[in-house]
């Protein structure tokens, strides 16, 4: 298509023809003809078919956390028998800009590379491409745009803050609670045997050992810690503002990552989603990268519970302790589950049991680790 200079050349040629006609000046006819000839030559030149080129686009990494560095590498190879023209490359990145690149004439068989950084300030799917190549003639009268490569994407997932996970040896209030609760359960792994004490569960008596010893012998099983963790994300829009909802998403991602790092059977529940299994950490990050606040109330019992022996931890991420999701979740806590609430909008009231302040990421990390370990410091 003609550029501004190209349209100016055509207008000047027309003016030369009209003026030459009015005043009978042959020189103006010649000048106008020359300008038209130059314009046509430029048009033919830019519309020549581009040499065959192979384009590879590699995102490093293809999934990046908010705030982490990421880049896209582009490799162009000339597979034709003639050199490429000088090209101005443009690759859209997201909806607010793109990456401009200049490609000098590339001889046959040669390869050129370019790279640009990817903005990762916000979570979501960042669309990149298609890669466009613009070329003009030497006089800049005509321009043509070709598509060299299609679109791709980089997934920007929520950041995660390091959260310690509770165990029976944890010194925080939650760790003590779990330790006391575990004594009321029978583990599945044999630990030792001892003499019977009045009040022991009769089902734990080892009758063979008792017959040999001449007195009642009780089988001791190992006290087991948390076996499963359910993370419930309340996405009801009325509970959040934009900033607090982002903190809620980060909190959910952080708890899932912490539970999976400890090898605990983990599940993420939100309106319309129920993720579990060995890939729950990866799948949760992909889903959390694009989740938006809505109007549906979450129900963590809708798809059934995760059946497993031992203790369970139920973590609700919501706006406040009095949200509809908090009320509904508290009413459905199983006897072998311990519930922790993370509030991303309102500060928890003084003395609230197992409630973590999530109104900032610093408060989230401090409050969670204080609840679990009895200290805000995590030893790595």
Per-residue pLDDT tens over the stretch 334-369:
888 889 999 999 988 765 678 999 999 999 999 998
Which secondary structure element, helix H or strand E, spans residue 258, and what is its range?
helix 242-261
The Cα–Cα gap between 134 and 152 comes to 20
φ/ψ of 115, rounded to 5, equals -150, 155
235, with CB counted inside 10 A (0-12, 13-18, 19+), is buried
CATH superfamily assigned to domain 53-157: Immunoglobulins (2.60.40.10)
pLDDT level of residue 73 (50, 70, 90 thresholds) = very high
Which residue is it, tokens 């999976």?
260
The answer to whether the beta carbons of residues 218 and 194 sit under 8 Å apart is: yes
Residue 284 scores a pLDDT above 80: yes
pLDDT at 199: 66
Query: Quick one: CA dihedral 24, 28, 32, 37, positive or negative?
Result: positive
pLDDT at 178: 75
Q: What's the chain's average pLDDT?
A: 85
The Cα–Cα gap between 74 and 58 comes to 7
The answer to whether the beta carbons of residues 181 and 223 sit under 8 Å apart is: no
Mean pLDDT of the 105-125 span: 91
pTM assigned to the model:
0.75
Cβ count within 10 A of residue 22: 9
The Cα–Cα gap between 372 and 5 comes to 70
Helix (H, G, I), strand (E, B) or coil at 57: strand
The answer to whether the beta carbons of residues 142 and 42 sit under 8 Å apart is: yes
Cβ count within 10 A of residue 48: 11
Q: With CA atoms as reference, report the closest residue to 298 among 281, 321, 323.
A: 323
CATH label, 173-180+224-373, candidates 3.90.1150.10, 1.10.10.200, 3.30.470.10, 3.40.50.410: 3.40.50.410
pLDDT at 127: 92
- From residue 23, alpha-carbon distances to 15, 27, 32, 332 in Å are 12, 11, 14, 96
pLDDT at 216: 83
């Amino acid at each position: 298509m003609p550029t501004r200079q190209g349209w100016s050349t055509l207008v000047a040629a027309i003016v030369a023809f009209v003026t030459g006609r009015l005043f009978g000046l042959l020189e103006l006819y010649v000048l106008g003809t020359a300008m038209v000839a130059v314009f046509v030559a430029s048009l033919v030149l830019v519309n020549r078919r581009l040499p065959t080129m192979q384009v590879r686009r590699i995102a490093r990494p293809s999934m990046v956390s908010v705030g982490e560095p990421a880049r896209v590498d582009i490799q162009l190879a000339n597979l034709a028998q003639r050199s490429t023209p000088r090209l101005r490359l443009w690759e859209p990145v997201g909806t607010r800009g793109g990456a401009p690149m200049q490609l000098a004439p590339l001889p046959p068989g040669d390869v050129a590379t370019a790279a640009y950084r990817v903005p990762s300030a916000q979570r979501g799917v960042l669309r990149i491409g298609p890669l466009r190549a613009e070329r003009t003639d030497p006089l800049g009268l005509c321009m043509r745009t070709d598509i060299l490569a299609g679109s791709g994407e980089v997934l920007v997932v929520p950041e995660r803050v390091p959260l310690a996970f509770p165990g029976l040896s944890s010194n925080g209030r939650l760790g003590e609670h779990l330790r006391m609760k575990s004594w009321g359960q029978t583990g599945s792994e044999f630990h030792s045997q001892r003499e019977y004490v009045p009040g022991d569960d009769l089902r734990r008596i080892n009758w063979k050992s008792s017959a040999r010893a001449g007195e009642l012998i009780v089988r001791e099983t190992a006290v087991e810690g948390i076996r499963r963790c359910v993370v419930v994300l309340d996405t009801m829009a009325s509970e959040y503002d934009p900033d607090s909802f982002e903190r809620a998403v980060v909190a959910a991602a952080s708890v899932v990552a912490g539970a999976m790092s400890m090898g605990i059977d983990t599940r993420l529940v939100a309106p319309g989603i129920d993720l579990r299994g060995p890939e729950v950490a990866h799948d949760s990050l992909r889903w959390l990268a694009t989740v938006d606040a809505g109007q549906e109330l979450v129900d963590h019992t809708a798809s059934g519970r995760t059946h497993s022996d031992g203790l369970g931890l139920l973590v609700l991420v919501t706006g406040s302790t009095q949200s509809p999701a908090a009320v509904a979740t508290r009413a459905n806590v199983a006897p072998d589950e311990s519930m922790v609430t993370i509030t991303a909008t309102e500060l928890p009231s003084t003395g609230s049991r197992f409630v973590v302040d999530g109104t900032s990421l610093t408060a989230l990390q401090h409050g969670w680790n204080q609840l679990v370990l009895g200290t805000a410091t995590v030893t790595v």
